[in-house]
Amino acid sequence: MLFAPRRTARLVLILSIASPAAARSDTRREDVLTPRNVAALRAIVGAAISPDGRRAAFVRLVPRNAGVEEDGTPWNELWVMDLEDGRERPFVTGKADVGSVQWTPDGSGIAFLAKRGEDKFTSLYVIPPDGGEAKRALAMGSNLSAFSFSPEGRRVAVVASDPEDEGRKKWQEKGFKQEIYEEDWRPDRVWIATLGDEKEKPRALPIEGSVHAIHWSPVDERILITLSPTPLVDDEYMRQRVRIVDPASGEILARIQNPGKLGQVAWSPDGKHVAMISGADMNDPAAGRLMVCSSEGGVPEEVLPGYDGDFSAIAWQSADTVMVLGSQGVWSTFGKVKVGSQAKDALKPILAPGAGPVLTSFTLSKDGQRGAFVGSTATHPLEMFTMAHGDAGPVRRTDSNPSLAKVRFAAQEVVRYKARDGIELEGILVRPLEEEKGQRCPLILCVHGGPESHEQNGWQTGYSKPGQMAAAEGIATFYPNYRGSTGRGVAFSKLSQGDPAGKEFDDLIDAVDHLISIGLADKDRVGVTGGSYGGYATAWCSTKYSERFAAGVMFVGISDKISKVGTTDIPDEDFYVHLRKRPWEDWQLMLERSPIYWAGQCKTPLLILHGKDDPRVNPGQSRELYRHLKLHGQAPVRLVMYPGEGHGNRKAAARLDYSLRMMQWMEQYLKGPGGAPPPYEIDYGEAGKKEGSSAVPAASR
């Protein structure tokens, strides 16, 4: 029996004035954001300032034009800006996939990783900052994943696996393509190469384990690496540790015993200290604590214990000062910390919460007085900003989407509310574009994944985030930072541990109730969406709390907590920072906190989408929930699988298809006639037209 919409009194009228959402063509409108316009947006995804602070190299992400170009992931182009006159120049553009951009130590070149021309594997390239052709500096028989120059710039340390055995390749060509699960892998190793010397082959260091990051000391013959016991994702997440090694012999000179998860690591300019972003302990859900240790090894000390935010990026300004970028709630913060001080006021703010854009990364010039940042605001995606000592704040330097100037943006604001147990919570609200005062509107609750993540008051629209797309259709979107989110210190991020789908998801219902209580949301027209852990929340809200939700769009989500543990690539991460129990310690809890357990009471129309090659949340999780809901037959359900996609869509066609389906489903059940699902065929409309006719052309983001 199909779901009968709660809005039966309005059904006849709606049917008389509106066709199904699927049939309405998503035309290009210049003044609002549609799924196709969002699919064309560009972004700056990395920026590196030159040692002298006069230039900045940056990477611009350029989505492919779905339906016109060959499908695939976005291109990553290299651009360089003269910071004196603001002129930006294209260096490596078009069908480019540039990554890991950094300047050579003397500033005479810009180095990056890419696979170009006839390259079989990702190689190291260097291009002069005044322009010219990029020259391949190092290629090996496997992909390079990271690199770091020696202080004089003549040698380079790279991270790569051993080349594949030729004998094995021949057997594979004969059909022997079996895979030995979690054993058949090659660890990433450290290799030392001398640039410009073709006779000297790269030399592998005899180090046990798999290497992730690498940083040559700025002053001597030592290399800092981060190392995990195996290449398994669980080990990378939970057991990545810092080691300092001799580049000549591979001997471990120092061991730094960082606790828990590990983020960015950086040498001090004099080589005496190492700063890092680390978890506070093995149960800390995220690497967000600032720690410093002697480069001779030992246990690092937390610099700001009790800090009620999280750090995400660091850079040394001088031998005793670390510049830090982080988050406090929905805002980013930027400041400096004196090494050796553990007082809570040791952090000197430069940008207070709420001042300026939401920043995500930064680099500093050699003198530490100028920086290049990447950040966003409510009205534009990620762009490059710069700031020098004495400036009032970051200055935006790029405009990757000039056509956004034509777009009318709905109001975006921070909303604070109390959970039922009194905890103060907050989130980001995007109001309907043409909101009418005193009139309630449909609402989409968009739940972030992790849960060790959080929403910030910057750009909030993407292929899986309704934001301004929903606002243009008269639908509000709320992004809650429920308990267990990051950005508010360790204690807050641990509040959800051991209680899956408990108080953490009650916080979501309390958010909806708050938006109803202030007169914004229509209680009968509330939808929910999210990916990964947000997909788990969507499945939970659509089953356990089904009476509260008129529509759900679940992406790469969890439906069975028991089978999830046995099919994921992060079972230990789940245990240490989420569940705090193994399934056999409490089978009943795991079962009752699984959406499939509550499938029999689902009345919420649910669209389920999943990457067919997802290693994190097995696609069987979506198939399980789909089958249970089909067997109960009480609500519309549709399952869409994306071949070749993993834990989130990366290719242009899959992203556009997702956006169109998400909005189609929400409009059908929050604004339209409800009833049976819309047709499964999608009208891709203008996807085959040249992007020049778009309101937000492919030359933008």
Q: Which of 469, 404, 465 is nearest to 699 (CA)?
A: 404
Supply the pLDDT for residue 341. 62
Among 195-204, 320-329, 528-537, the range scoring the smallest mean pLDDT is 195-204
d(CA 561, CA 41): 36
Strand, coil or helix: 640: strand
Phi-psi region of 149 (alpha: psi -120 to 50; beta: other; left: phi over 0): beta
Strands 301-302 and 395-396: unpaired
Edge-to-edge order in the sheet of strand 380-388: 358-364, 370-377, 380-388, 395-396
The 3 state secondary structure assigned to 37-86 is HHHCCCEEEEEEECCCCCEEEEEEEECCCCCCCCCCCCEEEEEEEECCCC
Decide if pLDDT at 328 tops 80: yes
| Neighbouring C-alpha atoms within 13 Å toward the C-beta of 458 | 23
Average pLDDT over residues 372-377: 98
Q: Which helix (H) or strand (E) holds 212?
A: strand 210-216
What's the whole-number average pLDDT of the chain?
Answer: 92
CB 26 within 8 A of CB 660: yes
Supply the pLDDT for residue 342. 56
The tens digit of pLDDT for each residue in 100-113 reads 999 999 999 999 99
Decide if pLDDT at 460 tops 90: yes
d(CA 135, CA 128): 9
Average pLDDT over residues 384-404: 96
- At 354, the pLDDT band (50, 70, 90 cuts) reads confident
CA distances from 233 to 180, 212, 261, 364, 571 (A): 16, 11, 12, 31, 10
- At 15, the pLDDT band (50, 70, 90 cuts) reads very low
Residue 374, beta-bridge partner list: 361, 384
Supply the pLDDT for residue 686. 60
φ/ψ of residue 685, rounded to 5: 45, -110
Question: Amino acid identity of 666?
Answer: M
Supply the pLDDT for residue 532. 98
The 3 state secondary structure assigned to 96-117 is CECEEEEECCCCCCEEEEECCC
Supply the pLDDT for residue 321. 96
CA distances from 678 to 50, 227, 365, 533, 681 (A): 53, 50, 55, 26, 9
Decide if pLDDT at 688 tops 70: no
Strand, coil or helix: 605: coil
Tokens of 645: 């996609």
Decide if pLDDT at 130 tops 80: yes
- At 200, the pLDDT band (50, 70, 90 cuts) reads confident
CB 1 within 8 A of CB 634: yes
The tens digit of pLDDT for each residue in 274-326 reads 999 999 999 999 999 999 999 999 999 999 999 999 999 999 999 999 999 99
CB 257 within 8 A of CB 298: yes
The tens digit of pLDDT for each residue in 651-677 reads 999 999 999 999 999 999 999 999 999
- Sign of the alpha-carbon torsion through 9, 12, 18, 21: positive
What percent of the chain is modeled with pLDDT above 70? Answer: 93
CB 332 within 8 A of CB 351: yes
Could you write out the DSSP letters of every residue in 235-283?
HHHHS-EEEEE-TTT--EEEEE---S-EEEEEE-TTSSEEEEEE-SSTT
Average pLDDT over residues 620-625: 98
The packing angle between helices 533-543 and 503-517, to 10°, is 70
Average pLDDT over residues 627-632: 98
d(CA 362, CA 15): 52
The tens digit of pLDDT for each residue in 221-277 reads 999 999 999 999 999 999 999 999 999 999 999 999 999 999 999 999 999 999 999
Edge-to-edge order in the sheet of strand 606-611: 412-418, 424-430, 476-481, 441-447, 521-531, 551-555, 606-611, 637-642
Q: Which residue has the higher pLDDT, 526 or 438?
A: 526
Residue 335, beta-bridge partner list: 324, 349
CB 263 within 8 A of CB 312: yes
d(CA 344, CA 242): 26
CB 382 within 8 A of CB 360: yes
Decide if pLDDT at 13 tops 50: no
Supply the pLDDT for residue 7. 33
What percent of the chain is modeled with pLDDT above 90? Answer: 88
Strand, coil or helix: 192: strand
- At 352, the pLDDT band (50, 70, 90 cuts) reads confident
Supply the pLDDT for residue 343. 56
Q: Which helix (H) or strand (E) holds 504?
A: helix 503-517
Max CA separation in the chain (angstroms): 81
Strand, coil or helix: 661: helix
Decide if pLDDT at 632 tops 70: yes
The tens digit of pLDDT for each residue in 29-86 reads 779 999 999 999 999 999 999 999 999 999 999 999 999 999 999 999 999 999 999 9
**For residue 451, cis peptide bond before it (omega within 30 degrees of 0):** yes
Decide if pLDDT at 358 tops 80: yes
Among 166-170, 559-563, 649-653, the range scoring the smallest mean pLDDT is 166-170
